[in-house]
Amino acid sequence: MALETDYVVIGSGVAGLRAAIGLARSGAAVSVLTKDRANESNTEYAQGGVAVVLSDDDNAELHEDDTLVAGAGLCDSRAVEVLVNEGTGYIKELIDWGTEFDREGGKLVFTREAAHSRRRILHAHGDSTGAEFVRSLTARAAVERSINLTPFANTESLIVRDGRCVGVRFLDPILRAPREIFARGVILCTGGAGQLFQHTTNPSVATGDGMAMAYFAGADLADMEFVQFHPTALDLAGAPRFLLSEAMRGEGGKLRNKYGERFMSLYDERLELAPRDIVSRSIVAEMRRTGTRNVFLDMTELDGEFLKGRFPKIYETCMHFGLDISRDALPVSPASHYCMGGIRTDLWGRTTVPGLYAAGEVTCTGVHGANRLASNSLLEGLVFGARSADAALSDESAAPAATSASTADRRGKSAGSISVAVKKRVKRVMWERVGILRDRSSLERAIAEFDQILTGRLDQASRNFVTLGRLVAAGAIWREESRGGHFRLDFPDQHEEFRVHSIQRLDTPIASASQIAF
């Protein structure tokens, strides 16, 4: 039997929780579906903090300028203005809800990260800002009795009737069988797709499900070629690719090669505080120059007690693997971290499919352009999570009656998880052919391999995963230039004709748009 509710939110990170709270405050019944435990999301793993204009020496124009510069000419200025100006109010709201940002003498502590012109980064418990966001938002959501949160409910596809999204098809965690839920509106907050790559800082749930589901439902995707590779992931045999926060370089950490030499001066005058895309490519260049598989992040010039207090989770994790961040140089190399591209939305989270909304990393609002400014992601989730809820509430639509399962989009046999063999193959191809440094030959080979996989009999989750990899590769081969997180060895320069967004939709050649919002 099909279920009915007012609204469905898919995902329980910062965007999903804020959207659910916004919907529930109107009295609406909200079903939140998440494919793992409720607090397992990219938000939970966000270490560095949240960028916000609250310090005395900062202002919205400076934050906006920093974001636009990092975005390499591809930010939508209207989206950036919304983010920066509304973000301050939403952070103050979080503080009112009990979020515990770090303070000294009762005053908020701000730090600096790469490509920021001011110390505007708030952090919580040193390096556990994302976890604190999830804690406080979960506590606030619990106050709203109309929110029903269902963990371990893997969403498989969106239900579209007469061009409108009217619900979702998911695997019921109790019945262990497919089930449908119908609603006035669906908000996708499923996060990014870092797991497409062999080396990633993202948790196992970050497989891009929402992007693929929206694509098969007919929604536009934008800028899929832009993937941010974090420069400093721990690179140690037997250890996970644990993220070593941008804030470590912001506090004075230095990058050194195998000879102990600082090398960033060879690549950028901003040294370790250059934008992430530049630092990542610089590290790759230095590894090639010196014939090594990693470089080193050196924090040893900083006080040990300060490091323990400022980066407690990082300190503890590194100690577990035999490294003392106050004494040892930390082996690091880049890993996939964040998707600038995603579901194309307007400034209120509306997608190109009526009834379907989206917020957070799953989207492409134009905020990040070709390269996300450090610590803007949590702010984006808050601002656009709230905005998507407001839009869903304001758009007039009647709750649909439950219909037969034949209305659901079906592309492959039902399954709850990606085939292990398919996942391993896609991750290898993406890392080797669609990684930090790209060229036409490698991208064509990647697309050919994905097409070959797609000819086989795949379950829906596996088809989603392969299709998403193909979309990233297709965007990368279309963009014959280098900009932000996308670097082509055969087209190493920026070109004005490509100062546009790539738009991909089902069964349609890639198009371009000068702005994201529509």
Report, as residue numbers or ranges, the catalytic residues: 276
What residue type is 180 in one-letter code?
A: E
Question: What span, in angstroms and rounded, lies between the C-alpha atoms of 112 and 395?
Answer: 40
**Alpha carbon separation from 267 to 250, 257, 282, 335, 509 (Å, rounded):** 18, 13, 6, 19, 37
* Closest by CA position to 407, among listed 181, 72, 95: 181
Strands 30-33 and 7-10: parallel
Whether residue 494 contacts residue 73, with contact meaning beta carbons closer than 8 Å, is answered with yes
Question: What span, in angstroms and rounded, lies between the C-alpha atoms of 213 and 468?
Answer: 10
* Closest by CA position to 334, among listed 148, 189, 194: 194
* Closest by CA position to 58, among listed 110, 95, 4, 5: 110
Q: Is 496 exposed, middle or buried (0-12, 13-18, 19+ CB in 10 A)?
A: exposed
Q: Sign of torsion, CA 308 314 317 318?
A: negative
> What residues form DSSP beta bridges with 438?
488
* CA angle (194 as vertex; 483, 150 as ends), nearest 5: 135
Whether residue 272 contacts residue 249, with contact meaning beta carbons closer than 8 Å, is answered with yes
Helices and strands, counts by H and E, the chain = 13, 23
What residue type is 106 in one-letter code?
A: G
* Closest by CA position to 156, among listed 363, 416, 502: 416
Distance from chain centroid for Cα 397: 30
Question: What span, in angstroms and rounded, lies between the C-alpha atoms of 43 and 130?
Answer: 5
Main-chain phi, psi angles of 116, to 5 degrees = -95, 135
Whether residue 461 contacts residue 474, with contact meaning beta carbons closer than 8 Å, is answered with no
Tokens of 152: 């371990």
**For the chain, the helix, strand and coil percentages under 3-state DSSP, each to the nearest 5:** 35, 20, 45
Whether residue 16 contacts residue 360, with contact meaning beta carbons closer than 8 Å, is answered with yes
What residue type is 432 in one-letter code?
A: E
Radius of gyration of the chain (CA): 22
> What residues form DSSP beta bridges with 110?
122
Query: What letter does residue 395 receive in the DSSP assignment?
Result: S
